[in-house]
Protein backbone atom coordinates (compact mmCIF):
# COMPACT_ATOMS: atom_id res chain seq x y z
CA UNK A 1 0.00 0.00 0.00
CA UNK A 2 1.53 3.38 -0.96
CA UNK A 3 2.32 5.88 1.76
CA UNK A 4 0.90 9.36 1.42
CA UNK A 5 2.65 12.52 2.42
CA UNK A 6 0.95 14.61 5.04
CA UNK A 7 2.19 17.77 3.37
CA UNK A 8 4.24 18.71 6.43
CA UNK A 9 7.87 19.48 5.87
CA UNK A 10 10.38 21.86 7.30
CA UNK A 11 11.18 22.80 10.90
CA UNK A 12 7.75 22.03 12.34
CA UNK A 13 7.84 18.41 11.25
CA UNK A 14 11.08 17.84 13.17
CA UNK A 15 9.68 18.95 16.52
CA UNK A 16 9.17 16.18 19.07
CA UNK A 17 6.42 16.66 21.63
CA UNK A 18 6.62 15.06 25.02
CA UNK A 19 4.46 15.48 28.05
CA UNK A 20 5.55 15.56 31.66
CA UNK A 21 2.94 14.52 34.16
CA UNK A 22 4.21 16.08 37.38
CA UNK A 23 2.78 14.70 40.61
CA UNK A 24 2.97 16.56 43.93
CA UNK A 25 5.37 15.02 46.46
CA UNK A 26 2.60 14.68 49.00
CA UNK A 27 0.78 12.12 46.83
CA UNK A 28 3.18 9.18 46.28
CA UNK A 29 0.29 6.76 45.69
CA UNK A 30 -0.93 8.80 42.73
CA UNK A 31 2.64 8.94 41.42
CA UNK A 32 2.95 5.13 41.48
CA UNK A 33 -0.49 4.66 39.94
CA UNK A 34 0.18 7.11 37.10
CA UNK A 35 3.70 5.80 36.53
CA UNK A 36 2.31 2.30 36.03
CA UNK A 37 -0.62 3.53 33.92
CA UNK A 38 1.59 5.45 31.49
CA UNK A 39 4.50 3.00 31.43
CA UNK A 40 3.90 2.07 27.77
CA UNK A 41 3.62 5.64 26.51
CA UNK A 42 6.93 6.89 25.15
CA UNK A 43 5.66 10.46 24.81
CA UNK A 44 4.58 10.76 28.48
CA UNK A 45 6.94 10.79 31.45
CA UNK A 46 5.52 10.69 34.97
CA UNK A 47 7.73 12.49 37.50
CA UNK A 48 7.46 13.28 41.18
CA UNK A 49 7.95 16.98 41.92
CA UNK A 50 11.44 17.24 43.38
CA UNK A 51 11.42 20.93 44.20
CA UNK A 52 11.47 21.92 47.83
CA UNK A 53 11.14 25.67 47.36
CA UNK A 54 11.07 28.32 44.68
CA UNK A 55 14.46 28.67 43.03
CA UNK A 56 14.41 32.45 43.17
CA UNK A 57 13.91 32.61 46.92
CA UNK A 58 16.32 35.48 47.55
CA UNK A 59 15.05 39.02 47.60
CA UNK A 60 16.76 40.60 44.61
CA UNK A 61 16.22 44.27 43.77
CA UNK A 62 14.38 44.75 40.50
CA UNK A 63 17.26 46.62 38.85
CA UNK A 64 19.60 43.67 39.56
CA UNK A 65 17.15 41.07 38.28
CA UNK A 66 18.01 40.90 34.59
CA UNK A 67 15.34 38.39 33.62
CA UNK A 68 13.17 40.17 31.06
CA UNK A 69 10.11 38.06 31.77
CA UNK A 70 9.10 35.09 33.86
CA UNK A 71 9.87 31.88 31.97
CA UNK A 72 7.05 29.89 33.44
CA UNK A 73 3.68 30.72 31.98
CA UNK A 74 1.76 28.32 34.20
CA UNK A 75 1.86 28.63 37.95
CA UNK A 76 2.89 25.02 38.48
CA UNK A 77 3.20 25.43 42.23
CA UNK A 78 -0.41 26.59 42.56
CA UNK A 79 -1.68 23.79 40.33
CA UNK A 80 0.22 21.16 42.32
CA UNK A 81 -1.17 22.52 45.58
CA UNK A 82 -4.71 22.49 44.26
CA UNK A 83 -4.83 19.42 41.99
CA UNK A 84 -1.75 17.43 43.12
CA UNK A 85 -0.79 17.00 39.44
CA UNK A 86 -0.07 19.04 36.32
CA UNK A 87 0.74 18.18 32.69
CA UNK A 88 3.45 20.17 30.92
CA UNK A 89 4.19 19.88 27.20
CA UNK A 90 7.82 19.90 26.09
CA UNK A 91 8.71 20.53 22.47
CA UNK A 92 12.24 19.69 21.44
CA UNK A 93 14.11 19.56 18.15
CA UNK A 94 14.68 16.08 16.76
CA UNK A 95 18.03 17.01 15.24
- For residues 35 and 46, the answer to whether their CB atoms sit within 8 Å is yes
Give yes or no for residue 1 having a pLDDT over 50: no
Check residue 3 and give its pLDDT: 46
Mean pLDDT of 65-92: 75
Helix (H) or strand (E) segment spanning residue 20 = strand 15-23
Q: Which residue has the higher pLDDT, 14 or 70?
A: 14
Ordered by start, the domain boundaries in the chain are 16-93
Structure confidence by residue, pLDDT tens digits, 18-72? 999 999 999 999 999 999 999 999 999 999 998 876 555 555 555 555 555 555 5
Q: Are 18 and 92 in contact, with CB atoms under 8 Å apart?
A: yes
Q: Is the pTM of this model over 0.85?
A: no
Q: How many CB atoms lie within 10 A of CB 45?
A: 15
Amino acid sequence: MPQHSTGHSGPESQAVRRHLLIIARRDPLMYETMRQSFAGHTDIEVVLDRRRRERRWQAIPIEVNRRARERRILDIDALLRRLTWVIVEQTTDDA
